[in-house]
Every structure is written in C-alpha cells, then in structure tokens.
Structure 1
Amino acid sequence: MTATADLIVHNARILTMDDESPRAEAIAIAGNRILAVGGNAEILPLAKAGARIIDAGGATVLPGFNEAHMHIFGGSVGLGQLSLMGVKGFEALKASVLAYAAANPDKPLLEGLYADYTILSEEERVTRHHLDAIIADRPFVMMAPDRHTAWANTIALEKAGILQGRDVGVGNEIVMGEDGLAAGELREGNAFGPVMALSETGGREMLGGATGGDPAHVTPEQRATDIAVIKRGLAYCASLGITSFQNMDGNLYQLEMLQEIEDTEGLPVRARMPFHMKNFMPLSAIEEKAAAWRARFDTDKLRCNFVKMFMDGVTEGETAVFVDDYSHKPGWKGEPLFSAEHFNSIAVEADRLGLPVTVHAIGDGAVRMVLDGYEAAIEANGKRDSRNRIEHIEVVHPDDVPRFAKLGTVASMQPPHPPGSAGLPLEPYLTYIGRERWPFAFAWKTLVEAGAKIVFATDWPVSPLAPLSCIGDAMTRKPWADDMPDHRLSLMDTLAAYTRTSAWVEFMEDRKGKLKEDFLADIVVLSGDIEACPATEIAALKPVATICDGRITYEAP
C-alpha cells in the first residue's frame, strides 16, 4: 500500500539545502518524516483524507533553522526582563529603568539586558553611583549585550555581599573604586553571579554557564516556575522558525527539566546540551559526568553529547586574550581561563572518549590556544572526525587561519556581533583591538575561503534570537573602512550555515538539515521569497509556520 501524507506544503519555493535536488514546489510529511519532495502535481495526490494542506503562496520553504549557539534558560528568563537595546544617555536610561521598576513592584532584583558599554557616552563608564542616581532603594543590575559584564547599584552590591570586593578567581573581576569599595562594574560570571542570585530564579539560569554546576536546593514550586519559564522560551524559538538549538551552557538541572517537558507534552524544538567544563573541575568529570550524561540523554529530541568551555572573556571588558597587547593598553594581553597544559589535557581526554569540544575564544591568543589543544588531541589519539568547534573567533591571527581546515575545526560565529552591525557601536572595540587586527576580525569569508566549515547563530540572549534578523545582519554587514575586506558570504552559504552545516556539526546530517525523503520533518515556511528579498529587508520576513518532528509547533495568527 502506498504511504500517504498527514501534512503537505505546496505552491512553495523550496530550498531543500540538498545539492542533489536543490529546489522543489511541494513537500509531503507522514508521521515525523518527510515522505516526498517534488512538484505540486506529484505531491498533492499523496494527501490522505483529512490531511492538513498548507499553501505557501510562492514563499520560501527551508529546513527548520538550527540555532547553533544559544542559552535557553537565560534567554527564556530574559523574555521578562528590561531591554535596554538602543537606549543612549543617562536620562533615557533613567526613564527606562524607572518605568520598568514601577511596572514590577515585587521583583526582588530589577534586571536590564543589552546595556551597551557606551550607554552613558563614549567617554564615561557606568558606576554604581550613576545607577544609584536612578534607583537607590531597590537592587538593580544591567548586563552588557555580551553578558560578560554587568553593572549594579550599591544596594545590589551590598545585598550580594560584594560591596567590599571579593576574590572571584582568574579571568573575573569586581572593579574597585578609589574609595576602596566596588565601583559597580562586574566582569565575568563569578563577579556578577552573587548579584544574579538575588533574582526570583535565584540565578539558577546562570549556573550552567557561570559555575557549570546545579542549584543546591530547589523547591517543587521553584522548579515548576523554571519549567514554565523554559516552556515560554521554547515556544518563542518555534515562533521564529527554529526547530533545533545547540545550547552553550549545561547542567543536569536543565537537562532534567527538558526531559520532563519531552515526557509530558513533547519538546517543540530539538535540544542539544553540553557538559560545561570549568577550570576548577577534575579531569575525571569528563568521563564521570559528560560521558554518563551522553548515555542518559541520547534521542533525536534531547541529547547531551559535547563539552563546552571558556578560554577567555570579551574584548570590551579587557578579558579577551590576544597574541599581542591590547592597542589601548600596552603590556596587557588578557589572561586565559585555562593554562595551555590544562586545556590540552581536557581536549585529549574528551577526544579519547569521543566527545566533541566547543570553546568560547574571542581574542586571537585564545583561538590559538584552543587550536593547539585540538592539535594535541590529534597527536595523542590519532586523527578522527571530531567536529570540534571554536565559538565567536572575533579575532584570528593570520597564521592560524589555515589551521581550521587542517585540524577540522568548525568556526561558529555570530553575525549580530561585529561592532557596527545590528545597532552595535564601533567603540571601544575598534580602538581596543587596533587597526592592524581589523582585517582578521569576524573574518567569516577568510576562514571559509581557507576551507573552514562555518555555522551561524545569535548567542541569544546576547543578541536577539530571530534567525531571519541574524541572516539579514550577515548579508548587510559593512566593512569598517574602504580598505578592509568584505566578509559577507552568499545567501545560500549563509542559509547553509543555519541549516545543513548546523546539522552536520552535531553529527545529524543523515537525518536533518535538508528537506529530503525520509529525513526528519523539520520545516519552516516563510512569509515571502527570501531570494527575491533585498538584503536590507530579510529581517522583515516572518515564519508563517514551523514544523518540528512532523508537528506544527507554530502558526502565524
């Protein structure tokens, strides 16, 4: 008996991302798999009685977006926080904070996101005194877009127990003022973690990234609240056409909550989670936890099968690690979170166990250290298809560009992140790295032309999550000067970095990332033709329908 379709999308401009059959008009779904892809006349007769039929109206249909770098718990919490994106100047900041405080009288900690490093001006750095002048009687903290720096008012610092300062470990800093008290600027997770713990979630959304650990005590009510928060975030992902995400912080608490959602109602988005390895953890944790979690969470909907690490911080916070000195600060290159010997031992052990590694590395010095570690793993264990990654690669040293292809290292990069893109200011970034490094900053095209595989993502909530906005950012990026390279990729290469290659990097290229017979039915229907759309208007396109695992997870009103 010929199989019949439960769901058909037709009258579409389908970009299958399958080189063998790159375009089609219609697609049929049976259960959670793609039954057939082809012409309208060929596909429509496959519909069984009562099948759902979606007329795409000539719009683009793609494999569901695979967001290759995000933070589901923190992003979900952020949906209810104050956005300071685009806010400039003290008076505008004051108005935003006071309106948010008035609308949220019971929040134990007022939290703002996307506070630019130059939110006051390009000359004046935020202190607790600025924030006290806005609101002094309630704890307030605001995060930089990169979520590596925060600024808190005095009462928040007092309640967190860090107004007098504290040792927060290598690569982290509570900036101190001339009066011997914390100035208000908190660099990296160990520094701002005590403030975030004042929130209604107790900072639980930060633990997977900031400490790699699990919350010590969670009441059933708190857990129920956290699950509701994550559900809201998952629904938001689906509304943006996302059918898979790869998380970049991980702990058992998040995994078990996602498993509960899958067991009770089904995850609307596929999740890949890491084991987060921190510099204070014993090497044995990779086998005892990472490998054990891989065995426990191993389905097409929820998997935990890689190790995530941080090698450095961020340039604007002066915690990124460079080969040569910061241009504005002679004698300072940054301080790595792992020694070369320590990182190499982790890379070798993870590779021995068949666990891919992905590492946050912003500066070219950190990038080099990670590449050295991956090379050490090859020398120790032999060459294998590891699909190790480096996240961000904001600056790469020219000597290291060919090493990506040589070592099989994937470049995981974020189109909304280059200064001057997505509304971000150029300073202080350009001054900090210096003009001689500009050509090798966010060097997508240089890496791809040298043979590197590339995946794109947003790093939500560091940047807004919408993949179409991110793709628009990738296609409209402008060089910082006339003599600088244009790092934009073609539209098809950019779409591949959000679909096919993102599936490949997680070893699922045999069943997702393409619209192909018998592949998993993960599909997004757009509101228009992305190929006919000017690059400046791509971000205005919207998902009309999202289908994950054969189930419609989102439909536009």
Structure 2
Amino acid sequence: MINNRISRRGVLTAAAAGLATTGIPGAAHARGTADTVVLNGKVLTMDRRFRRAQALAVRNGRIVAVGTNREISRLAGRGTTVVDAAGGTVLPGINDSHVHFAAYGTAVPPLSWPVDGATIAEVQQLIARAVAHFDDAGQPDAWVRGGGWNDNRIGAAPNRHDIDAVSGNHPVLLGDFSGHAVAVNSAVLRLAGVTRDTVPPPGGVIEKDAAGEPTGVFRESAAALVAGVVPPWSRADLSAGMDAAVAGMHALGITSVTDPGIDLAQLSLYEEKFRAGELPLRFTIMMRGGRTLAELDQVLAELRAPRIVDPAWLRVSQIKLIADGIPTAAQTAWLHEPYVDGSNGVPLTEIPVLHRLIKKAAAHGFQVGTHATGDAAIDAVVAGYLAAKGRAGLRHYVIHADLTPVRTLRTMARNDIGANMNATIKYLLGRTLDPYLGPARVDYQWPYRTALDLGVRVSSASDAPVTPPAWLQGVSGAVLREGQFDGGAVAGKAERITLREALESYTSTPAWQDRAETWKGTLTEGRVADVCIVDGDLLTTDPHDLPGLRVSTTLVNGKVVYDSGASSSRAARTTAAGVQAFSRDQAVSCLQRGECCCRLSEKLLAGS
C-alpha cells in the first residue's frame, strides 16, 4: 500500500512485534529527507551476508539507508512517498537474465494463439478457435500464428493434415514450446514452394511421411524454409508488444532484463522508445552474432552505441551465438554420450567457425553468451572462450547449460565463465525427457547444485516466451525440482538448491552476469532503488506455495511503477495475468515473431 504520509500506526505495530535492528551501515547515520521510504517489510538485501532489515530509504533513485522502521521513518518528510510493505518480503528488483522481450509482449491473441493441447484433437480445437476469430472478423485468409505444442507431451508433432482439417483457407504456422520447430499446413507449404525434393539446410530437418512427402514439420534451421513467407511483425505491432511487456514485467516485480539476439532494426526501436520515455526497465542487449564471420562483421561494422540513452538503462554489451539445438524429442542438442536411440545430434554452427566468432566478438570488447545445451556443444563453447583473446573480465557464459559435464563446470569456475540456467523450463519438462535422455541425465539436466558447489556463477532466466517470466515458479522449481505434467515427480533431487541460492540466481548473480554488481542486484546503500515487494514471507512459505504469492509493489529507480492496490495498475495486472496465464497454461507459444533461444524465431522476427 502506498501513502503520501507515514502510517504511524503501521510503524508502531511493527516495532511492537519486536523486530530487531540490522546493524547495516548507514541506516542510523543517513542525513536528509528521502524521496521514498519502504516500511514494515521483511527486507532481504541479497548481499553476501544475506543481511535482513525492516525498511529502506531512497533519494535520487538510489538507496541511501537500510535499517529498522524507526531509523528509516526519521528520513521521511512531507513530500516523501511511503510504501507500506505490510509484512511482505522486500527484494532487489528481479533480473530476468534471458528473455525475448518483444516476443513476450506479442505472445497473446490475436497476434499469436496458444495451441498446447494434451492431444492432437485438443491442438485442433485450439487452432479452430483462432480460425473462427479471423473468420468472424471478416479475414478469411489471414495468417494464423501460434505456438506451444509440445511433442514430449503429445507424443507427436501436429502435421499438415491435422492442421488442414481445421484451418480453412488460412495459412497456419505453429511453433513448438521450445522455439526449435514449427508445424505448418499445406497452404504454407505451397506458398514456400516446399516439396518432397526440397533439401534442408545444414542442421535442419524436414520431416517426411512414409511416402516421402513433407509432413509440414520443420526443425531447427529448416524452419527458415517457411519463415520467409510469413509476414513480419510491423513496427507498430512490436512497439505495442513492448509496451505490454513492460507492464507485464512490472507486475511481476521484474526491473531488469537481458534481451538476446537483437538485430540493428530492433535496436533502433529500443532507442526510439527510450528517448520517448516508454521503456522504464533496464536492458542489457545481446546483439545477434549470426553463424558466419560475414554476419558478425556486418553487425560490428554497423553497430553504434545508443545515443542519448544512459547505459544503466540500455546497454549494448553482448553478442549471442548458437552452438546446438535442444535435448528434447527433437534431439538437436549435440551430445558426447548418445541419446537413448543411439544418435548424437550435431552442432548448428561449425565449431571452427564458432571459435572464430567468439574470438572476434571478444576482441571487439563484447561479452559472449552462447546457446549450448548438449555436453559436446558446451565443451566446444567453453574451449572457444578459453582460446579467445579479449579484454579481461568479459565474463562470457553458457546459455542454458543443460548437460554441462562436471569437469567442464570446474573449468568454468576457474575461469569465471558463467552459466545461465532455466528452472522454469525444468519445471515445464519434468521427467518428460526420460525416453530420450534416460532418467540419470534428466535428473542431472540443469545441474544447479553441482555448478554452485564447484563455484560457477549461475543465473536463472525464463527464456520467455518459452516459459513465462514467473520467477517465483522458478524459485520453487529450483528448490523442489518437480515437474508440471508428471504429477510432480522429482527430476533430480541431488540438484536441488536452497531458497537463498535460488533468489540469488534472480537478483545478485544476474547483476554479476551483466557486469553491473557495483550498482544493482542488492538492496544496499548506493545501489539503484529497483525494488520488488512480494505479499508474503518467502523465508517461511512452503516452496510449493511460492508460485501463488503475488507481487504487491515494484519500484524502478526509486519510483513506484506498479502497485497492486492502485486502479492505475489494473491494466498492468491484466497484461501480466493474460500473458503469464497464456504462457503457463498453454506451455507457452514460442512461435512469436520474437527471437527465441534459437535461430528459428530470430528469422521469424526479422521476416527473413
């Protein structure tokens, strides 16, 4: 609850409860009136000592004091905004360290439609719903774009015949939940000119039926064969999606994001919206590095630092590369030890080329994050990082890092190479990959405990819209390792981590990954006042119940940008609930014209 005046009753009630002082330096000695104070909270500073407090004070966008209600209330004046945390947990603003921002914002109807049914029949019903929307709107041949189908769950991908039966005259393109495959109907095959004789590009798969005809399912780079005929999002669509995403992030307590795989046109839109004051969120931008030296050379030649934008808000500092696919039913992750069926997958970027890309990006001062899920791919990426020469302290990292070998984790720890893991994807998949990886590797997949014990810095990210940016679900998942679709079966008890470690992976460690730990990621004096307040006590809540807690208030740079009790926040709550429910209940559409964690969605967003 936000007040313009201090609630003296609230302060006295908290004091009467016997909450102790914290001994945090600066709390009792700060001078001057605060712009904003947060009182009556269970403040988790997330500093190295995991110190706790009751309250904090903000001036000029920075935290000036953290301490008891009595200490902090002394810094409030007539013009001070007072936020009553009402006993809730006060955290640093959440940092989703790998989220496809525009894709998240466009992941709702009518731009994109959920099709994550438990059976092919359910998928068809969901397609029919989208088709009916366009027919009713007088658009009988409009493109239907959607996603979320999960062949790990269904047992098979929807094929062109399945889609044809319910799509009428509409061209239909549907992404799977991971963004590494698409399914299209016959209309799209005709538009793209794909036939039984079409040759897939390197690393791509065109699935065919017993007669040798394409089924309409394209995996990895083969999706580019149909992506070129899909109308790209307009600049207005992308801008509106970004506005919706900002509201959704604020309602979830998220104040910083890393947006991976951005191209130069998207970057110009970011700059434009920042200058217009339309993006009150902190962004670390990963430029799309491509798969060839020519592609990276073009990005490096044309890239210019954003003008008139503070790098604390928009920082272009990373290059994204891709080593392999994913270790799901698609089996496109590159493994040393084969899948259950004996195959190993292949790298999606030639390893000598990948190493040259890493070296060139590092030489130009860019931090490199590389998508790598299979153990062979991860080993190749880490070898490339070790061989690259560049400015010290770049902190390259492995994106996803699903099956990182123990020996490689040791190497990463010694060389300050980070890992960006996905607790929400682990929750989504649970034990569904047992038939492909075997139970032992499913237990190990996303080895949080092993990595942390060996000294690897591990950040957690949603990879939205692959999964929603539901960080409380991620915290719960990292602590419990229970799956969504398999009755809560545990997938790797030995890789469980503590609540504190899970919270660090969403706050202080992503700040380290961003090379910004000196000014964000903790609630300590001098750090930016990015704050998330949750309406419960995270330290005493059963981990199973964490996803049910709600964010009550979010501050960015000391300003309240979301208040669950304010009428002005209704739109934000609606946006967050709509996008999050769509993503959660439909296993998320990754067909958005956003750059998911693979080249497929990058190409879709570019319309290439």
**TM-score for the superposition, normalised by structure 1:** 0.88
1:470 to 471, 474, 478: 474
State how far apart, in whole Å, the 1-side matches of 2:518 and 2:203 are. Answer: 40
Please list the CA deviations of residues 223-278 of structure 1 after superposition, one character each: whole Å capped at 9, or x if unmatched. 23321221111211111110000011211222111211111124221111111111
Identity %: 27
In the TM superposition, residue 441 of structure 1 has moved relative to its aligned partner by 1.9
> Mean alpha-carbon deviation: is it higher for 68-77 or for 155-164?
155-164
Please list the CA deviations of residues 415-438 of structure 1 after superposition, one character each: whole Å capped at 9, or x if unmatched. 0222xx23x3633x2222234534
Change (3 A) 1:2 1:399: closer
In the TM superposition, residue 456 of structure 1 has moved relative to its aligned partner by 0.3
State how far apart, in whole Å, the 1-side matches of 2:308 and 2:84 are. Answer: 40
State how far apart, in whole Å, the 1-side matches of 2:31 and 2:493 are. Answer: 54
Corresponding residue number in structure 2 for 1:489: 497
Please list the CA deviations of residues 367-406 of structure 1 after superposition, one character each: whole Å capped at 9, or x if unmatched. 01001101112xx458x32211101111123332311112
Contact 2:177 2:466 in 1 (8 A): yes
Change (3 A) 1:346 1:238: same
Change (3 A) 1:91 1:266: closer
Change (3 A) 1:483 1:143: closer
Corresponding residue number in structure 2 for 1:212: none
Structure 1 position 9 matched with structure 2 position 38: yes
Number of residue pairs matched by the alignment? 524
Corresponding residue number in structure 2 for 1:363: 374
Structure 1 position 440 matched with structure 2 position 452: no
Change (3 A) 1:534 1:143: same
Contact 2:271 2:306 in 1 (8 A): no
In the TM superposition, residue 2 of structure 1 has moved relative to its aligned partner by 4.2
The residue type paired with residue 66 of structure 1 is N
Contact 1:387 1:410 in 2 (8 A): yes
In the TM superposition, residue 65 of structure 1 has moved relative to its aligned partner by 0.3
In the TM superposition, residue 352 of structure 1 has moved relative to its aligned partner by 2.3
In the TM superposition, residue 79 of structure 1 has moved relative to its aligned partner by 2.6
State how far apart, in whole Å, the 1-side matches of 2:217 and 2:273 are. Answer: 37
1:223 to 232, 235, 257: 235
Corresponding residue number in structure 2 for 1:169: 201
State how far apart, in whole Å, the 2-side matches of 1:244 and 1:368 are. Answer: 29
In the TM superposition, residue 297 of structure 1 has moved relative to its aligned partner by 6.5
In the TM superposition, residue 516 of structure 1 has moved relative to its aligned partner by 1.3
In the TM superposition, residue 163 of structure 1 has moved relative to its aligned partner by 4.6
Structure 1 position 348 matched with structure 2 position 352: no
Alignment of 1:116-155 (within 5 A): 116-119=150-153, 121-122=154-155, 124-155=156-187
In the TM superposition, residue 295 of structure 1 has moved relative to its aligned partner by 8.5
State how far apart, in whole Å, the 2-side matches of 1:110 and 1:299 are. Answer: 38
Change (3 A) 1:160 1:236: farther
Corresponding residue number in structure 1 for 2:222: 191
Change (3 A) 1:258 1:453: same
Change (3 A) 1:296 1:145: farther
Alignment of 1:306-317 (within 5 A): 306-315=318-327, 316-317=329-330
The residue type paired with residue 487 of structure 1 is E
Change (3 A) 1:425 1:100: farther
In the TM superposition, residue 313 of structure 1 has moved relative to its aligned partner by 0.9
Corresponding residue number in structure 2 for 1:449: 453
The residue type paired with residue 151 of structure 2 is Y
State how far apart, in whole Å, the 2-side matches of 1:381 and 1:256 are. Answer: 27
Alignment of 1:255-266 (within 5 A): 255-266=267-278
State how far apart, in whole Å, the 1-side matches of 2:418 and 2:374 are. Answer: 16
In the TM superposition, residue 506 of structure 1 has moved relative to its aligned partner by 0.7
State how far apart, in whole Å, the 2-side matches of 1:505 and 1:284 are. Answer: 25
Structure 1 position 416 matched with structure 2 position 424: yes
Change (3 A) 1:509 1:398: closer
State how far apart, in whole Å, the 1-side matches of 2:115 and 2:76 are. Answer: 48
Contact 1:13 1:24 in 2 (8 A): yes
Please list the CA deviations of residues 4-23 of structure 1 after superposition, one character each: whole Å capped at 9, or x if unmatched. 11211100000011235711
Contact 2:157 2:183 in 1 (8 A): no
> Mean alpha-carbon deviation: is it higher for 504-513 or for 177-186?
177-186
Contact 1:445 1:487 in 2 (8 A): yes
Please list the CA deviations of residues 325-377 of structure 1 after superposition, one character each: whole Å capped at 9, or x if unmatched. 2221x3x3222122222222222222222211100001111001001101112
1:237 to 230, 233, 249: 249
Change (3 A) 1:488 1:296: farther
- 1 or 2 for the larger relative contact order (CA 8 Å, sep ≥6)? 2
User: Counterpart of 1:284 in 2: which secondary structure?
Assistant: helix
State how far apart, in whole Å, the 2-side matches of 1:196 and 1:533 are. Answer: 45
Contact 2:292 2:357 in 1 (8 A): no
